[in-house]
Amino acid sequence: MRKLAAGNWKMNGTSAELAEVSALIAAQAKPGCEMLLCPPATLLARMADIAAGSALMVGGQDCHAKTAGAHTGDISADMLKDAGATHVILGHSERRADHGETDIAVRAKATAALAAGLTAIVCVGETEAQRDAGRTLDVIGTQLAGSLPAQMTGAADSLVIAYEPVWAIGTGRTPTLDEVAEVHAFIRTTLTTRFGEVAKAMRLLYGGSVKASNAADIFAVPHVNGALVGGASLKASDFGPIVAALAAS
């Protein structure tokens, strides 16, 4: 499978930061893995124009489950695709916490994204309290069961799972490599039980304080097929080495 380095800009970036996109493209002309940036919606079409013809793909950070309608402030999967997106992040812990998104809501969005021809990156992850209580795998299993489409009708690469322990996002802390390995192996087994052979080719990303200094070690863990990167994706000088480490893994 082709590995994926995905960057989530979250609520960061104005026109000035688009220079980082050009710098990243110049530095990673042939990255050796798939390379994706998901900017805020205000930059999506402009970033897609800059990335056109390059190795960089562009994605959204969320979409609505409906294709159109009276949903002020929301964006549909079809609208993302029209703006140049190829991917969309769904069910990120910040969306779940800040906007009360449930597994059922995430499943509806993922189904809509796949129907629109986008690759859905569905996020799962436990809080620190849940890990301390020994509930990590139970939490991940519940999120997978509720957040993923009922059936896989497309190719394996149209659905990506990103494991992001909530307590590691933006904190500088990361699980041990053994902890990452345990969760990723669990996700692979769970997906294979549910979807069959196609699940063996689905990409599983790790996210949560990934940076150049720890990327190579994380990418050496079995069933880690890439990363979902937050703050370190905002600068080409930070994200480029992560892309390079993934390509070399």
What residues act catalytically?
92, 164
What does each C-alpha distance from 5 to 127, 136, 207, 222, 227 come to in angstroms?
24, 24, 10, 16, 5
Query: What's the CA gap between 174 and 214, in Å, rounded?
Result: 9
Question: 205 and 246 in contact (C-beta within 8 Å)?
Answer: no
Query: What's the CA gap between 143 and 165, in Å, rounded?
Result: 13
Question: 90 and 123 in contact (C-beta within 8 Å)?
Answer: yes
Nearest Cα neighbor of 26 from 50, 44, 46, 6 is 50
Q: Which two tokens stand for residue 84?
A: 């140049």
Question: 213 and 242 in contact (C-beta within 8 Å)?
Answer: no
Nearest Cα neighbor of 68 from 60, 80, 76 is 76
Q: Which two tokens stand for residue 51?
A: 């990335």
Query: What's the CA gap between 95 and 103, in Å, rounded?
Result: 11
